[in-house]
Chain A
Amino acid sequence: MPRWGMVIDLDRCIGCGACVVACQAENNVPINTEDTYHQRRAIAWIRLERYWEGEYPNVKARYIPVPCMQCTYAPCEPVCPVYATYHTTEGINMQVYNRCIGTRYCAVNCHWHVRFFNFWEPKWPDSLKNQLNPDVTVRSRGVMEKCNFCVHRIVKAQHKAKVEGRALRTDEVQTACAQACPTNAIVFGDLDDHNSTVSKLLAQAEREGRVYRLLEDLGTDPKVYYLKKIDLEAAAEPAAAH
């Protein structure tokens, strides 16, 4: 049984936002217009947060892509009254759109702000309607949605492996964001597989003392690992970007 996880190397991240766009296209996320941004209702399963450090002219932009952390002990899960959010055996924190009744408690109790509510009926321009991904449900108004590590890709790969009568190969699955990342800052894979890229990256970064997770002290055991930026000028820590 794989335990899916992700490693995001902030030293490689250039803040291009390709992951955000890829995710948007892959997962049928509605177009975020200027209005929805201003209403703060934009949906971005992975978002790029930008923090400014220092004062002009010595200012630095720090980028951090934030997908769902897929916490092992996710605080959003027990608070849902209808099991619309639950934990899969492979460690993914799933959202069942058809069960969701819209209490939004999961979003309140998610401290990484990675759960999104469909305040409006999702709309696409006619020209984009044929580009919707047939593997992913289009969510209606009134339900929560969130990153699920491109679970449809995982399922598809597992199905293919089963048809071919073999086990899933190491690093056979990639999420859309990882695939789109031009600098390979985002890496997805099985944390329990010692040969997977994530495990190797983690092992190496552990030795360098670069590994951390967001809000680790809450004890939720997130499965998205960040590798610190190597900053020769200042040993600044993006996690502490207050």
Chain B
Amino acid sequence: MQERHRLGEEEITRELFRPLVTTTPMMWVGFIGLGAVLAIFVFAISWMFYWGLGVTGLHRPNMWGFMIVNFVFWIGISHAGVMISAILRLTQAEWRRPVTRAAEVMTIFSLMTAMLHPVIHTGRPWRTLYWVFPYDFWRNLWPDIRGPLVWDPSAILTYLTGSTLFLYTTMIPDMALARDRSTGWRRTLYTILALGWRGNERQWKMQTIAGFLLSGLILPVFVSVHSIVSWDFAVSLVPTWHATVFAPYFVIGAIHSGVSAVVTLMALMRWLFRFENYIRLEHFDAIGRLLIAVGTGWLWFFLLDIFFAIYPQEARELEIMQFRLFEWPFNVFTALIFIFGYFIPVPIWVFQRFRRNVKIMFWTSILVNVGMWAERYWLIKPGLMRKYEWTFDWAWYRPSIVEMSIVLGSFALVGFLLLVFSKIFPPISVWEEKEGQHFAQQLQVGKRVVNAIVREF
């Protein structure tokens, strides 16, 4: 922790607001590059809407494909925000300060991206909207609440609402700060968003209480979201999907991939916005330690899932297990999941030297998410390709170029939104940084100087 610098308040404000006022060449590259991919994304979706789902690789029995896999993946990523902010806020972990904002924003954008998938996946999304907006109560035809696809949007929308409120609550003081230092449309925007924040004691107290309450309330939602997403699969009778472990397994996998995505984001922000003074090596160290525990927990559930899928020794389940463990291309996926998801990154993270190396942390976090994408695909697809004894109906799934563009585009969408966000709002919570500076103390213990924190209970 030797790298901690004492920074003045003015300096913090200036540096953290820098991305809002200056656009570096790299940011332009980001905007244009991501924008181009986004254009492909929009084109692919429009193409699909125009011609119908025939342009995808979906067929019978592979009724669900890349879009659903990607949906699960992005829901997984969205678990990072609350994991980092709410849990670390409740446990008052100091190292959360520079990552909360980015993690929460990523939660919201990846949730929105995720929600897009099941909607466009129906092929005629206006039909979905037709039943929802406005709901035609007069016919007394309610949605079937037994359907997991009704639980899904309920959980996700609750989560989205909750995380947006949570993010907004933590942004109000920064909005006031921005309001006082801006002109033009920005000033108008920040004035509205700041809700008349003056920073008096009562306002701070309300803001703190609201933050804590929302963290507490959002935790059950956070667990429920991916559990419910997992039940989309597990309540069906498809062999290898019908597994009791799915809910906690999906949740821990989501945390694994989400927290890794936060590491990726931290490294990118540090590089793109030159936030070396804020996103420090000790933060990578701490999040790396957290990832060891999360990754190992995930491995346990992964192995439970595999072992107990084989355990009943039922022909139809064994058939799929055999298929996805040993046959191309799923054998490669299996290897990817194990190696990228666990056996490369975690042993690396065990060493503090590597945890404090931004490049290594960046690339290992990318690896984890490659592995986790493979895991989602591995979990969802084989069950459909080899469903029950009907060898007559077994079929391969080959995603079409349209689906691939949608998957690729979803990454560009999240990246683009994040970049736009950091042009308008400070990507690191300014007031939390300042608060952290106040609480930070140094202690002389014997010959050593130890970092210490003053904390309120």
A interface, CB within 8 angstroms of B? 39-41, 49-51, 75, 78-83, 99-105, 107-109, 111-113, 115-121, 141-142, 215, 218, 240-242
Q: Closest CB-CB distance, A79 to chain B, in whole Å?
A: 5
**B107-151: which residues lie under 8 A (CB-CB) from chain A?**
118, 121-124, 127-128, 130-131, 141-144, 146-150
Q: How far apart sit A102 and B232, CA to CA, in the bound complex (Å)?
A: 15
Of A81, A100, A117, A120, which is within 8 A of B143 by CB?
A81
Q: A78 — which chain B residues lie within 8 A by C-beta?
A: 144, 146-147
Distance in angstroms between the alpha carbons of A78 and B384 in the assembled complex: 19
A13 to B58, CA, bound (A): 32
Asked if B60 is at the interface of the complex by the 8 Å CB criterion, the answer is: yes
Per the bound structure, the CA–CA distance linking A118 and B127 in Å amounts to 15
11 sample A-B contacts, Cβ–Cβ < 8 Å, listed by A number: A39-B54, A79-B235, A102-B122, A103-B149, A104-B58, A104-B63, A105-B236, A112-B390, A119-B52, A141-B53, A241-B391
Known: A104-B64, A215-B388. 7 other contacts (CB 8 A): A39-B59, A49-B393, A101-B131, A102-B122, A104-B122, A119-B58, A120-B54
- Asked if B238 lies at the interface with its beta carbon under 8 angstroms from chain A, I say yes
* A contact face: mostly helix, strand, loop, or mixed: loop
CB distance from A237 to the nearest CB of B (A): 11
A121 and B52 form a contact (CB under 8 A): yes
Quick one: CB contact mask for B385-407 with A, threshold 8 Å, 1 for yes?
00111111101000000000000
Pick the contact of B392: A50, A109, A118 (CB < 8 A): A50
In the bound complex, residues from chain A placing their C-beta under 8 Å from that of B131 are: 82, 99, 101
Closest to A239 in B: B389
Chain B contact surface mostly? loop
Residues on B close to A: CB < 8 A? Answer: 52-54, 58-61, 63-64, 118, 121-124, 127-128, 130-131, 141-144, 146-150, 232, 235-238, 315, 384, 387-393, 395
Question: Which residue of A40, A50, A100, A109 contacts B60 across the interface (Cβ within 8 Å)?
Answer: A40
With contacts A39-B54, A108-B64, A242-B315 taken as known, whether A103 is within 8 angstroms of B118 at the C-beta atoms is: yes
Neighbouring A residues of B388 by C-beta, 8 Å: 111, 215
Minimum CB–CB distance for B383 against chain A, Å: 9
Question: In the bound complex, do residue A111 and residue B122 qualify as a contact, i.e. CB atoms below 8 Å apart?
Answer: no
Checking B54, B64, B130, B142 against A41 with a beta-carbon cut-off of 8 angstroms, the contacting residue is: B54
> How far is it, in angstroms, between the C-alpha of A130 and the C-alpha of B278 when the chains are bound?
74
Chain B residues positioned under 8 Å from A111 (CB to CB): 237-238, 387-388
Query: In the docked arrangement, what's the CA distance between A83 and B142, Å?
Result: 8
Contacts of A218 in B (CB 8 A): 237
Residues of A within 8 A of B143 (CB): 81-83
B387: chain A residues within 8 A (beta carbon): 111, 113
Report if A49-B52 is in contact (Cβ < 8 Å); known contacts: A101-B124, A119-B58, A142-B122.
no
B144 to chain A, nearest CB (A): 5
B390 contacts which chain A residues (CB < 8 A)? Answer: 49, 112-113
Instruction: Return the 5 tightest CB-CB contacts between A and B, nearest first.
Output: A102-B122, A40-B59, A81-B149, A104-B63, A78-B146
Of all chain B residues, which has the CB nearest A116? B60
Q: In this complex, what residue of B is CB-closest to A117?
A: B63
Name the residue on B nearest A111 (C-beta). Answer: B388
- In contact, A75 and B236 (Cβ under 8 angstroms): yes
* Among candidates B61, B122, B128, B236, residue contacting A113 with C-beta atoms closer than 8 Å: B61
Docked CA distance A242–B320 (Å): 13
Distance between Cα atoms of A100 and B147 in the complex (Å):
14
Q: What separation, in Å, do the CA atoms of A105 and B232 have in the docked complex?
A: 9
**CB-based contact A108/B63 at 8 Å:** yes
* CB pair B52 A142 closer than 8 Å: yes
What residues of chain B lie closer than 8 Å to A40, measured between beta carbons?
59-60, 395
| Inter-subunit contact B127/A101 (CB<8 Å) | yes
Most buried by A among B63, B141, B315: B63
Q: Indicate whether A141 sits within 8 Å of B124 (C-beta atoms), given known contacts A41-B54, A79-B148, A82-B143.
A: yes
**Nearest-CB distance from A141 to chain B (Å)?**
5
Residue numbers in A under 8 Å from B235 (CB-CB): 79
Bound-complex Cα distance A4 to B130 (A): 34
Is there contact, CB below 8 Å, between A102 and B127?
yes
A115 and B60 alpha carbons, distance in the complex (Å): 8
The CA-CA distance from A104 to B64 in the complex, in Å, is 8
Are A119 and B59 in touch, CB under 8 angstroms? yes
Alpha-carbon distance between A59 and B383 when the two chains are bound, in angstroms? 30
The answer on a CB contact under 8 Å between A51 and B391 is yes
CA distance A78 to B151 in the complex (A): 12
> Are B122 and A103 in contact, CB atoms less than 8 angstroms apart?
yes
Interchain nearest-CB distance for A132 vs B (Å)? 21
B150 CB contacts on chain A under 8 angstroms? 81
Contacts of A102 in B (CB 8 A): 53, 122-124, 127
Cross-interface CB contact of B128 among A101, A118, A121, cutoff 8 Å = A101
CB nearest neighbor in B for A42: B60
Q: Tell me which residues across on chain B come within 8 A of A51, comparing CB atoms.
A: 391-392
On whether the beta carbons of A81 and B144 are closer than 8 Å, the reply is yes
CA distance A6 to B309 in the complex (A): 35
Which residues of the partner chain B approach A141 to less than 8 Å between Cβ atoms?
52-53, 123-124
A115→B59 CA distance, assembly (Å): 11
Smallest Cβ-Cβ distance to B393: which chain A residue: A113
Contacts of A215 in B (CB 8 A): 388-389
**Within the complex, what minimum Cβ distance (angstroms) separates A35 from chain B?**
10
CA distance A39 to B237 in the complex (A): 25
Output the least CB separation between B227 and chain A (Å).
Answer: 17
Contacting residue for A105 out of B54, B149, B389, CB 8 A: B149
Cross-chain contact A142 with B123 (CB below 8 angstroms): yes
On whether A49 and B384 interact (CB within 8 A), knowing A101-B124, A116-B60, A141-B123, the answer reads no
The answer to whether B63 and A242 touch across the interface, beta carbons within 8 angstroms, is no
Among A80, A105, A108, residue most surrounded by chain B Cβ atoms (within 10 Å):
A108
Q: Given A40-B395, A101-B124, A117-B53, are A240 and B389 neighbors across the interface (CB < 8 Å)?
A: yes
A142→B61 contact, CB < 8 A:
no
Contact A109 B236 (CB under 8 A): yes
CB of B236 within 8 A of CB of A79, answer yes
* Docked pose: A83 CA to B384 CA in angstroms: 23
Contacts of A118 in B (CB 8 A): 52
Decide: B237 and A119 in contact? CB cutoff 8 A.
no
By beta carbon, the residue of chain B nearest A241 is B389
